[in-house]
């Protein structure tokens, strides 16, 4: 059948040329390639997440970590805290006791603070006087205590990971850690996995 169409022959030739060189087929291929690249970029893009290593066991630094953590959740961010080394004892429950510790573990158990209540300031501790002063001041200024912060963090869904190597080194047992819904135990790989996908990472 002969095509009866209302277009000029020139248009048809142009169309044919466009479709041939750099034409539809080629555009589709380019688009496919870009889609793949865009998907790769999207996958690599860090999430709206904050990852913190809490290495320090100083009251002021752990407080800062929780202020940042709860603030981030309030802004809609996903928050993960990794407690390692001196930070680990901050998560001990002062009312829990566990047995089966070796001599070294018992010694560490006595020397390390039992939870957030027993933690001290990094500066001006002055034999506990500075820490007590700061706590009174925080109460007076309506700043939440570390205990309240921990509770709030749990309610807000802040995930806490505790470093297993630190637990092992200090002879700490899971049975003596605080009751926290979103607590888990892990190694450095887990932290790196979370940190790599986070927009903000801090070592505290």
Distances (CA, A) of 188 to 91, 163, 191: 18, 7, 5
Residue 6 in contact with a copy of itself, rule: CB under 8 A = yes
Nearer to a copy of itself, 182 or 190 (CB): 190
Cα distances from 200 to residues 15, 68, 71, 164, in angstroms, run: 51, 11, 13, 23
Confirm or reject binding of residue 38 to a copy of itself (CB under 8 A): yes
Q: Which residues lie closer than 8 Å to 25 by C-beta, 6 or more apart?
A: 19
Pick the piece of the chain touching a copy of itself (CB under 8 A) from 47-55, 90-98, 145-153, 178-186.
Answer: 47-55
Supply the minimum distance, in Å, between the C-beta of residue 195 and a copy of itself: 5
- Using CB under 8 A as the binding rule, the residues of this chain from 119 to 138 that contact a copy of itself are 122-124, 133-134, 137-138
Chain residues 138-197 in contact with a copy of itself, contact rule CB under 8 A: 138, 140-141, 143, 165, 168-169, 187-189, 191-193, 195-196
Q: Which stretch binds a copy of itself (CB under 8 A): 26-34, 91-99, 154-162, 178-186?
A: 26-34
CB of 54 or CB of 160, closer to a copy of itself: 54
Under the binding rule (CB under 8 A), the answer on residue 43 touching a copy of itself is no
Q: Which is nearer to a copy of itself, 62 or 95 (CB)?
A: 62
64 makes contact with a copy of itself (CB under 8 A): yes
Task: Output the CA torsion 161→167→170→176 (10° steps).
Answer: 90
Asked if 3 is part of the footprint of a copy of itself (rule: CB under 8 A), the reply reads yes
Give yes or no for residue 61 binding a copy of itself (CB under 8 A): yes
Task: Report the nearest approach of a copy of itself to the CB of residue 179 (Å).
Answer: 26
């Amino acid at each position: 059948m002969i095509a009866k169409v209302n277009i000029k022959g020139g248009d048809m030739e142009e169309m044919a040329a466009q479709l041939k060189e750099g034409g539809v087929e080629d555009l589709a291929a380019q688009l496919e390639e870009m889609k793949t690249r865009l998907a790769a970029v999207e996958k690599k893009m860090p999430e709206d997440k904050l990852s913190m290593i809490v290495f320090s066991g100083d009251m002021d630094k752990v407080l800062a970590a929780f202020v940042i953590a709860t603030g981030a959740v309030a802004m809609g961010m996903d928050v993960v805290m990794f407690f390692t080394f001196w930070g680990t004892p901050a998560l001990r429950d002062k009312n829990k006791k566990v047995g089966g510790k070796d001599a070294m573990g018992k010694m560490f158990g006595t020397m390390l603070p039992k939870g957030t209540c027993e933690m001290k300031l990094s500066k001006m501790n002055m034999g506990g006087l500075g820490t007590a002063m700061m706590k009174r001041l925080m109460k007076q200024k309506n700043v939440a205590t570390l205990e309240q912060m921990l509770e709030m963090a749990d309610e807000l869904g802040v995930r806490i990971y505790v470093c297993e190597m630190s637990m092992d080194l200090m002879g700490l047992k899971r049975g003596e850690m605080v009751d926290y819904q979103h607590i888990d135990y892990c190694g450095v790989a887990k932290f790196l996995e979370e940190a790599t996908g986070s927009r903000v990472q801090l070592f505290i």
